[in-house]
Structure formats: structure tokens, C-alpha cells
Amino acid sequence: MRIARVFLDQPLHPGMEVALDKNAYRHAVQVLRLRTGQPITLFNGDGADYSATLSVGPRSGSALITEMSALSPESPLNITLVQAISRGERMDFALQKSVELGVHCIQPVLTERTVVKLDAKRRKNRTDHWQAIIISACEQSGRNRVPTLKEPLTLTDYFNDALIESQTRLVLSPTASLSMSELSLEKGLAADLLIGPEGGLSDDEIEKAISHQFTPIRMGPRILRTETAALAAISVLQSRFGDLG
């Protein structure tokens, strides 16, 4: 039987009894229907899993940690997904599946053709919502390090202000001459992957990306939706240069 995994944002160690916060309690008791005495795995993003035994009441719960396992399922390929913000469920889907596929960092960006508008309040709400999706994807996929979610930037600010450390920088473009199958990359390196929104990146944005050392690359002869493009590209990168397959 698969043991449920629950995220707790606090220090954890064997022998410790920890109170479940409201999110952990809701997930464990109301969603997963776990009961007192059942095993549970806790993680806090430090790269370890913590085996524990659950104790629940009508409105609160706790877990007694019995042991720690430092086995980490992280990919040797450090991918930063630079994802243009798309509408509602499309963005949620792209973030959820990219975490399951092993990205290390997510940078949301606003582009010329981004339909979604974010004022200060909505930006905070969306960021909190995306963080919850990322944590849920870690719970489901067995990851014990939570990918970094960066604050949304305009694409121009990302190019001008963001610290882009990756030596490999890729931007998906249906007109690129280089295909993903022709890409050469050493295993274990870092890569930034830029994906456009509904409608794609503009020609000017592609040119700006190229001027910042991004290599245009295509995924094949068909036009992919923004959420499909992200998953397809990450899957190929992980299969060829990471740990997928």
C-alpha cells in the first residue's frame, strides 16, 4: 500500500511529535481520509522523507516521526522553466506536470501576448495558488525538495534584471532551425527553458531572447499548446540529459 505524503513547513527530525497545520490536516484527514495509527510520510523540502504515525482528532492532528530517509529523487539536470503566464487551468496544469517531471525552478513571466492581467492583490493570490499546486505535485510525485517559485516578472525585466546562471538557454519556436533531437547538452548541467503563452512569443521577443544567448529550438512539425509545449520539452530534456526513462 502506498503511504500518503504530506508537506509541513517546519523543521523535522526523528522522535519529534509535530502538529499538523490546517493545510496538512485537511489534506491528510479530509482529502486522504487517514485515521489515527496510520503511517504517513512527512517532508519539508530539506531533501529527506520522515516516516511518522498519525494521530487525529475532530479538528486537529499530529504525527510522531519515527525515522528519516535521505534518499532524494531529484534529477541531475537542473531545469528552470520560464513559463509565460497562461489562463487558469492551463497554467495550473503546466506547473503541476513540470514539477512531476522534475523541474528545479519556475519563473512565471508576462509577455506581449499574455492575456492574464495581474494587479498587486491578484499577483499575490495567484502566487499563493501556484505554490500550493507545486507542493501538491511534490506530495504526489515523491519529491522531497520543493521547486523554487519566483515572483512573476515581465519578460523584459526577466531578461534585464534576472540572474540567468544557466549556460544552456532554450526558447521554443515553431520556426527554429534546430530541433530538440539535435540538441547537444552535457548530463547534469543546468538549462533555462522559455515557453510562450497562448499565441506564442512575438518575433521581437524571440529576437530579444536570442540577444540574451537563448537558442531557438522546435519540438516538431506540429503547433503545441503552451501547457503541452512545456511538458513535451521537459520530457525530452529529462529523457536525453536527465533521469527520465
Question: Which three cell numbers, joined as nine digits, stand for 41?
Answer: 510520510
Single out the residue of 116, 75, 117, 124 nearest to residue 98, CA to CA.
75
**pLDDT (tens digit per residue) in 20-41:** 999 899 888 888 899 999 999 9
Q: What is the pLDDT of residue 98?
A: 98
Residues of the chain short of pLDDT 50, as ranges, are: none
* Single-letter code of the amino acid located at 218: R
pLDDT of residue 126: 93
Predicted pLDDT of residue 137: 97
CA–CA separation, 100 and 231 (whole Å):
10
Rounded to 5°, the CA angle 179-172-238 comes to: 70
Kind and range of the H or E run holding 83: strand 78-84
Count other Cβ atoms within 10 Å, centred on residue 143. Answer: 24
pLDDT of residue 152: 95
pLDDT tens profile 43-73? 999 999 999 999 998 889 999 999 999 888 9
pLDDT at 211: 94
Residue in this structure with the C-alpha cell 502506498, named with its chain if needed: 2
Cβ atoms of 234 and 170 within 8 Å: the answer is no
Q: Which domains does the chain have, with CATH numbers?
A: 5-71 (2.40.240.20), 78-241 (3.40.1280.10)
Nearest to 164 by CA among 150, 178, 179: 150
Amino acid 162: pLDDT: 64
